[in-house]
């Protein structure tokens, strides 16, 4: 009996992502506009490298992205610069408005042996952005 319980606990620890999504993930997946704020989603490209890469928002707020992940920023409206940190050199500037929802696709290419070799970030439309977020997990 104890052996079966131990095996079940070990297997449960191997689950890569919680399903169904945990409450913070459900909240983060809300695509509704926030009054007086701008929402910016950063989503990793599907079938992307397993390498990690970091991004900074206006040189003050920094996140690290992983394969199959997304992040949701709520910021004041206006121009915002999102740029790679470290060896990554990608950057984009968004001119945002209050109540706007924006989607950025973050691409990271590399291998375990060579590390990160290429990074890119681009704005994508709402339909593509929502689809990517729904297939990703929240950081």
Q: Does the residue 97 lie in any domain?
A: yes
Q: Does the residue 10 lie in any domain?
A: no
Say what the pTM is: 0.76
Q: Does the residue 7 lie in any domain?
A: no
In which residue are the tokens 């399903």 written? 19
Q: Does the residue 8 lie in any domain?
A: no
Question: What's the token pair of residue 113?
Answer: 């042996």
Instruction: From first to last of the 139 residues of the chain, give the pLDDT tens digit.
Output: 555 544 554 445 444 444 445 555 555 567 878 899 999 999 998 888 888 889 999 988 999 999 999 999 999 999 999 999 877 788 999 999 999 999 999 988 887 787 777 888 999 999 999 999 988 887 6
Question: Do residues 119 and 108 touch, judged by C-beta distance below 8 A?
Answer: yes
b/e map of 3-26 (b: 16 or more CB within 10 Å)? eeeeeeeeeeeeeeeeeeeeeebe
Question: Do residues 64 and 83 touch, judged by C-beta distance below 8 A?
Answer: no
DSSP structural state of residue 33 = -
Number of domains in the chain: 1
């Amino acid at each position: 009996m104890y052996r079966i319980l131990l095996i079940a606990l070990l297997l449960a620890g191997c689950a890569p992502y919680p399903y169904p999504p945990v409450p913070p993930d459900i909240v983060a997946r809300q695509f509704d506009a926030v009054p007086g704020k701008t929402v910016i989603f950063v989503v990793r490209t599907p079938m992307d490298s397993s390498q990690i890469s970091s991004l900074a928002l206006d040189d003050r707020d920094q996140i690290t992205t992983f394969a199959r992940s997304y992040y949701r920023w709520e910021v004041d409206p206006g121009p915002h610069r999102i740029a790679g940190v470290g060896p990554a050199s990608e950057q984009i500037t968004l001119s945002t408005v209050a109540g706007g929802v924006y989607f950025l696709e973050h691409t990271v290419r590399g291998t375990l042996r060579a590390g990160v070799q290429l990074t890119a970030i681009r704005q994508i439309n709402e339909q593509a952005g929502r689809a990517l977020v729904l297939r990703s997990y929240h950081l």
